[in-house]
């Protein structure tokens, strides 16, 4: 906790967006975080709009829900973006940060990068996929982890990370794409490979945000990084890791504001109930945080709802 640095929260959903900045001319521009579902965010401080793993199509992969009458996709189907829905939700982006190359993180980025002209920061695998889709070179920044880049109104530290321990810890994928890879767009869903995992410390006007795209992290890589706002991966696979919640909160300094990511069922469209995942993932996490870091506030994000942090 940092005394004297108390943050005031206002949570606003998109359907009741009545937020007005209470102190015109206040020195600190509020930060707005819109939850796009999965590990996806739109974060803006009024100067710069940053998207993180923006996955909006939420394809019906496998089973899905009986009330969801969209077509079912299999892993070997050609990936498709719901361009109409994306156009409704994404109107501007200056930067796009990509944690890893799986479809639920990168699948909509070819369309969004082409539409917005945003600079995209991701692994060489991620960048190679975007190149295959014809995204211009001057938008593409391949990183390996460890970079700390200053742009005009925004800076970002790239943090080496690891993927969720899927499949009861049997998941491991060392495949990578590079200039020798023979990729032809459009790709099949299964061609969106992980390609290594990253986290980001995104520094905005008056706040910095630590982002996660998975339920895993390399503890030593987070030492000394104490963000105001943590967006942790909060899904079931974290329970297979040793003291995930405690180690993550301890090493990142028990910040005041924690907003869980990647806890929802991303095979369901927006508007479908996420109660089952709230019960399974969010409630136990809130209970764990109240024990580990009682001064932290966990905010449960709502799909397309905007959280304003002054
Ligand atoms: Zn993944």
Domains parsed from the chain with CATH numbers = 29-309 (3.60.15.10)
81 CA from centroid of ligand 1 (Å): 18
156 CA from centroid of ligand 1 (Å): 21
Percent of the chain with pLDDT over 90: 87
Question: CA 156, CA 210: separation in Å to the nearest integer?
Answer: 10
109 CA from centroid of ligand 1 (Å): 15
User: Higher pLDDT residue, 56 or 7?
Assistant: 56
194 CA from centroid of ligand 1 (Å): 6
| 255 — pLDDT class (breaks 50, 70, 90) | confident
| 64 — pLDDT class (breaks 50, 70, 90) | confident
The pTM score is: 0.92
48 CA from centroid of ligand 1 (Å): 27
Of 114, 116, 93, the closest CA to residue 40 belongs to 93
Question: CA 172, CA 241: separation in Å to the nearest integer?
Answer: 15
223 CA from centroid of ligand 1 (Å): 24
Whether residue 63 is predicted with pLDDT greater than 90 in this model: the reply is no
The pLDDT tens digits for 102-156 are 999 999 999 999 999 999 999 999 999 999 999 999 999 999 999 999 999 999 9
Of 132, 139, 77, 127, the closest CA to residue 101 belongs to 127
Whether residue 4 is predicted with pLDDT greater than 60 in this model: the reply is no
The pLDDT tens digits for 66-103 are 999 999 999 999 999 999 999 999 999 999 999 999 99
Tokens of 56: 């909006």
| 163 — pLDDT class (breaks 50, 70, 90) | very high
102 CA from centroid of ligand 1 (Å): 5
pLDDT of residue 7: 47
236 CA from centroid of ligand 1 (Å): 14
SS3 percent helix, strand, coil of the chain, rounded to 5, is 25, 25, 55
Question: CA 309, CA 305: separation in Å to the nearest integer?
Answer: 13
């Amino acid at each position: 906790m940092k005394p004297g640095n108390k943050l005031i929260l206002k949570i606003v959903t998109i359907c009741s967006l009545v937020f007005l900045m209470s102190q015109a001319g206040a020195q600190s521009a509020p930060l707005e975080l819109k939850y796009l579902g999965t590990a996806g965010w739109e974060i803006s401080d009024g100067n710069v709009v940053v998207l993180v793993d923006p996955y909006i199509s939420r394809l019906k992969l496998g089973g899905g829900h009986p009330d969801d009458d969209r077509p079912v996709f299999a892993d070997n189907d050609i990936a498709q973006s719901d361009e109409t829905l994306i156009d409704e939700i994404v109107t501007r982006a200056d930067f796009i940060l990509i944690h890893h190359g799986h479809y639920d993180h990168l699948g909509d980025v070819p369309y969004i990068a082409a539409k917005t002209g945003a600079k995209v920061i991701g692994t060489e695998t991620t960048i190679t996929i975007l190149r295959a889709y014809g995204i211009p070179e001057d938008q593409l920044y391949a990183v390996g982890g460890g970079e700390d880049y200053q742009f005009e109104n925004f800076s970002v530290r790239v943090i080496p990370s690891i993927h969720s321990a899927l499949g009861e810890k049997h998941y491991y994928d060392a495949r990578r794409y590079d200039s020798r890879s023979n990729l032809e767009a459009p790709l099949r869903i299964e061609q969106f490979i992980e390609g290594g995992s990253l986290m980001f410390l995104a520094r905005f006007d008056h706040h910095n945000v630590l982002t996660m795209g998975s339920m895993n992290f390399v503890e030593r890589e987070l030492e000394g990084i104490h963000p105001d706002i943590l967006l942790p991966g909060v899904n079931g696979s974290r329970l297979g890791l040793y003291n995930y919640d405690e180690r993550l909160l301890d090493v990142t300094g028990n910040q005041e504001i924690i907003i869980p990511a990647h806890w929802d069922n991303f095979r369901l469209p927006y508007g479908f109930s996420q109660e089952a995942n709230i019960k399974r993932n969010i409630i136990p996490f809130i209970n764990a945080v109240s024990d580990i870091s009682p001064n932290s506030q966990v905010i449960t994000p709502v799909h397309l709802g905007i959280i304003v942090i002054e």
